[in-house]
């Protein structure tokens, strides 16, 4: 299903834990690096680069393909696509073979065939959105920057992932700013 | 999270201010803190590299200021906002975010006098040229565009002449040349006009006026639409590596957020005209009632304008609400709920009548501001526009006998009572002048 609304995107992010980022770059000026670094340091998702040209980015092991990722780590919850639009259908086929539950096309990665392939396979599809921006919409990041989150609520905001039943494997990614309100005993193993 | 489109009044109360996540405080707290701690050196590095969102230093961003910025972005229908120390700071910050020495702007000549001097004197000293053109002459606007032009600029409602800009035509002229349209929406506020809906790309305003509404704070706000193609090549400051931010290419890295990110990370950082959290909090309070205040301002303005129009002491009155105004059609299109509450009129008897009128008033405040809940009056030729030469004065629509009113929220009968006294004094002064006394 193509997810067009804010509520649908929040629900996807709430139920997802693993993100395989196809085309993640280690070049610190590239948008894909900005998204990778943001997701890694926020620690809400377990984010993994899929890039045959690198072995790791910032200490996170990279896999050469979605197939290689799935063989070791299982099906990813979200495949995040940083590739040119013409490559998108092939990425969708690989994502479906890897058992991906959702595919996320970043800004400008618009390919009708790829969208149709993913939609017809019954997985969730997000098109022409940024995973960093949508994460930041729900975890207060956009609001911190004076950006219009579009959110109106009189309930105390819950951090993204707070309602997720399974906590993250603490060893995989340590949230950078979790120290903001560290409850007593939070560091206990 | 339910999917629902919230209305303007709801957003004026709620946008940007969910309950405080830490304390549950329902009202926005005032974060009086110059700086904010880093959780680690890596966290600090991520913040400075703009890879994560967070507070560093209140010159660049502050939680209370950000709440005001987000609420204004919501009300104007934009991607985000940047609050500044004043309306002029908002303009300067917006211009410096897209133009540098050697660049050029095209602006309506019918602007606030302070804007005219900022654009034609101060910016010129910094190497940015500005051509002023008659605001109603779109052919002149187009003809003034050069290869080095970076933006067009107009006010929704001109100060003080009350001319209403044909925003769609201005936007079309800008976009046909790959340029953004910057609009000063101070006199309309997003209650009466949302320029982004008519094609504007950047909206600036003096928040000192109706947005504050109580004559208490000096403040400005920039809102950007998020739809302008900053990376198309016409704006090297945004589409080329920036030496001001370790060679970051803002358009490539941030896409639709390029303008707002550069404006905050470079221009707010280096120019430093930031808003105090106290002032941002006062503005958040004021915005809650903005959708209720603006219609009341307009209703009182119509009563006052009708009263003056019937008086023999009044030579002319310019208010786009009147059907015979040259701007009536534009006002119906762009300002269907009212052409604001600020207008000008001319007294018979010229300068002496104007002086007598203002000095006889008891309730109307004689001062250099507009958009207060209290009614205000001024004689532009001797105050706000006194720094302009005669040619610029005429070009901006100001004449020696012109009086500008900013109609407030008092009982209209009291406003008319006071104006009656002023008109009587003006008539006596005009008669004395005529008799050569």
Q: Which domains does chain A have, with CATH numbers?
A: 6-134+145-161 (3.40.50.720)
Query: In this structure, is residue B312 part of a structural domain?
Result: yes
Residues B223 and B317 in one domain: no
Nearest chain B residue (CA) to A140: B53
At B187 the pLDDT is: 98
Number of domains in chain B: 2
A146 with B61: Cβ contact below 8 A: yes
Q: What is the band of B160 on the pLDDT scale with cuts at 50, 70, 90?
A: confident
At A182 the pLDDT is: 60
Contact A138, A13 (CB under 8 A): yes
What is the signed CA dihedral for B16, B17, B21, B27, rounded to 10 degrees? 160
How would you write B241-271 as a 3-class SS string?
CEHHHCCECHHHHHHHHHHHHHHHHHHHHHH
For residue B196, give the DSSP letter. Answer: G
Say if residue A27 is exposed, middle or buried (CB neighbours under 10 Å; 0-12, 13-18, 19+).
Answer: exposed
Q: What is the pLDDT of residues A43-87, one digit of tens each?
A: 889 999 999 999 999 999 999 999 999 999 999 999 999 999 999
In chain A, % helix, strand, coil (3-state, to 5) comes to 35, 15, 50
At A186 the pLDDT is: 58
A177 with B79: Cβ contact below 8 A: no
Mean pLDDT of B164-187: 98
Query: In this structure, is residue B303 part of a structural domain?
Result: yes
Does the pLDDT at position B278 exceed 60? Answer: yes
Average pLDDT, chain B: 94
> Which CATH number goes with the domain that contains B405?
3.90.1150.10
Could you tell me the maximum CA-CA distance found in chain A, to the nearest angstrom? 51
Question: Strand, coil or helix: what is B108?
Answer: strand
- Give residue B181's domain range: 16-278
Task: Give me B76's structure tokens.
Answer: 């104007």
Q: From residue B340, how far is each of A60, A145, B153 by CA, in Å?
A: 58, 31, 20
A144 with B67: Cβ contact below 8 A: no
Residues B325 and B430 in one domain: yes
Listed range (B195-204, B206-215, B250-259) with the worst mean pLDDT: B250-259
At B383 the pLDDT is: 72
Q: What is the pLDDT of residues B122-150, one digit of tens each?
A: 999 999 999 999 999 999 999 999 999 99
- Distance, in Å, from the CA atom of B87 to the CA atom of B184, rounded to the nearest integer, reads 9
Residues B218 and B340 in one domain: no
Of A31, A145, A177, the CB nearest to B253: A31
Q: Determine the Cα angle at B368 with ends B363 and B369, to 5°.
A: 80
Q: What is the band of B236 on the pLDDT scale with cuts at 50, 70, 90?
A: very high
Nearest chain A residue (CA) to B81: A146
Strand B314-318 with B342-347, pairing: antiparallel
Interface of B with A in 251-270 (CB under 8 A): 252-257, 260, 264
Does the pLDDT at position B252 exceed 90? Answer: no
Q: What is the pLDDT of residues B393-417, one digit of tens each?
A: 677 667 878 899 999 999 999 999 9
Which of A9, A147, A159 is best to mutate for the B interface (most B CBs within 10 A)? A147
User: What are the residues facing B200 on neighbouring strands?
Assistant: none
Residues B150 and B252 in one domain: yes
Q: From residue A47, how far is each of A79, A173, B125 by CA, in Å?
A: 10, 9, 50
Residues B107 and B58 in one domain: yes
Question: A31 at the B interface (CB within 8 A)?
Answer: yes
């Amino acid at each position: 299903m193509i997810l067009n609304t804010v509520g649908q995107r929040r629900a996807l992010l709430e139920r997802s834990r693993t993100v395989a980022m196809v085309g993640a770059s280690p070049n610190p000026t590239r948008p894909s690096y900005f998204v990778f670094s943001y997701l890694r340091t926020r620690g809400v998702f377990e984010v993994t680069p899929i890039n045959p040209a690198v072995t790791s980015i910032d200490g996170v092991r990279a896999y050469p393909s979605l197939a290689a990722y799935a063989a070791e780590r299982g099906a990813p919850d979200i495949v995040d696509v940083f590739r040119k639009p013409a490559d998108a259908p092939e990425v969708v086929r690989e994502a479906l073979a890897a058992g991906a539950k959702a595919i996320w096309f970043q800004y400008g990665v618009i390919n009708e065939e790829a969208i149709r392939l993913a939609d017809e396979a019954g997985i969730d599809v997000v098109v022409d959105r940024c995973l960093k921006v949508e994460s930041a919409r729900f975890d207060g990041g956009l609001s911190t920057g004076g950006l219009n989150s579009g959110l109106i609520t009189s309930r105390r905001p819950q951090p993204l992932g707070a309602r997720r039943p399974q906590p993250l494997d603490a060893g995989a990614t340590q949230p950078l700013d979790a120290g903001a309100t560290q409850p007593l005993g939070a560091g206990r193993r | 999270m339910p999917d629902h489109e919230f209305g303007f009044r709801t957003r004026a109360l709620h946008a940007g201010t969910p309950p405080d996540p830490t304390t549950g405080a329902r009202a926005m707290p005032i974060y009086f803190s110059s700086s904010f701690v880093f959780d680690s050196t890596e966290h600090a590095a991520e913040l400075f590299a703009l890879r994560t969102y967070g507070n560093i230093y209140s010159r660049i961003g502050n939680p209370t200021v950000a709440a005001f910025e987000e609420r204004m972005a919501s009300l104007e229908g934009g991607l985000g906002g940047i609050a500044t120390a004043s309306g002029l700071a908002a303009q300067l910050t917006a211009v410096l975010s897209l133009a540098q020495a050697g660049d050029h702007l095209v602006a309506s000549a019918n602007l606030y006098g302070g804007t005219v001097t900022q654009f034609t004197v101060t910016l010129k000293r910094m190497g940015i040229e500005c051509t002023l053109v008659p605001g109603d002459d779109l052919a002149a606007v187009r003809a003034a565009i050069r290869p080095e032009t970076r933006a067009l600029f107009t006010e929704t409602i001109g100060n003080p002449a009350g001319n209403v800009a044909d925003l769609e035509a201005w936007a079309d002229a800008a976009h046909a040349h790959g340029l953004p349209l910057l609009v000063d929406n101070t006199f309309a506020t997003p209650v009466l006009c949302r320029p982004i809906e008519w094609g504007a790309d950047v909206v600036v305003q003096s928040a000192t006026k109706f947005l504050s509404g109580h004559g208490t704070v000096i403040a400005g706000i920039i809102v950007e639409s998020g739809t302008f193609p900053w990376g198309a090549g016409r704006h090297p400051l945004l589409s080329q590596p920036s030496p001001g931010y370790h060679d970051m290419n803002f358009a490539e890295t941030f896409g639709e957020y390029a303008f707002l990110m550069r404006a905050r990370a470079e221009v707010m950082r280096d120019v430093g005209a930031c808003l105090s959290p106290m002032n941002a909090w006062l503005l958040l309070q004021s915005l809650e009632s903005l959708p209720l205040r603006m219609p009341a301002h307009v209703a009182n303005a119509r009563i006052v304008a009708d009263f003056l129009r019937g008086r023999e002491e009044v030579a002319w009155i310019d208010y786009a609400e009147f059907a015979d105004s040259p701007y009536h059609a534009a006002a119906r299109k762009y300002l269907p709920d009212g052409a604001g509450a600020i207008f000008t009129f001319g007294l018979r008897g010229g300068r002496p009548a104007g002086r007598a009128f203002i000095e006889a008033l008891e309730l109307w405040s004689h001062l250099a501001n507009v958009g207060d809940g209290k009614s205000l009056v001024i004689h532009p030729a001797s105050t706000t526009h006194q720094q302009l030469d005669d040619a610029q004065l005429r070009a901006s629509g100001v004449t020696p006998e012109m009086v500008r009113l900013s109609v407030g929220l008092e009982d209209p009968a009291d406003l008319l009572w006071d104006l009656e006294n002023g008109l009587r004094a003006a008539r006596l002064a005009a008669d004395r002048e005529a008799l050569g006394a």
